[in-house]
Amino acid sequence: MKFGPLLCGIMLILGLAACDSGNSPKLTVDYPEMDSPAFQNYRAQCSECHVPPRTTTHTADEWPSVIARMQQHRVQRRMAPMKVSEMTAVRDYLVRNAAVGTH
């Protein structure tokens, strides 16, 4: 079904917008593929310094350079760098769930 991912993305945006309008502090947001190993890896790699950003905060073109910068932050803090396989999995996860178009 051609419009599946698009509709899903729209529903996600609407869902999150609805969450944001509440005034109770919410510690978690909904992420795509939350039951998948890809998400588990993303959460493991990207939650040590801040809350993992929503996948739609950058476009597919932008994510690789953001991930590379985060790798530098790890090195600066003397944390073990992400393995290439972990970085690739994070990148694939973010890219396939990224914001559509430019902003």
**Residue 60 binds ligand HEC (CB under 6 A):** no
Three-state DSSP class for 99? strand
Please pick, from the candidates 10, 19, 37, 48, the single residue that binds ligand HEC as defined by CB under 6 A: 48
Let me know: does 82 contact 90? Beta carbons within 8 Å: yes
Please pick, from the candidates 12, 90, 98, 99, the single residue that binds ligand HEC as defined by CB under 6 A: 90
Let me know: does 93 contact 55? Beta carbons within 8 Å: yes
* Euclidean distance between CA atoms 97 and 54, whole angstroms: 9
Binding map of ligand HEC across residues 8-47, x = CB under 6 A, - = no contact: -------------------------------------xx-
| C-alpha gyration radius of the chain | 15
Binding site for ligand HEC (CB under 6 A): 45-46, 48-50, 53, 57, 66-67, 69-70, 73-74, 77, 79, 90
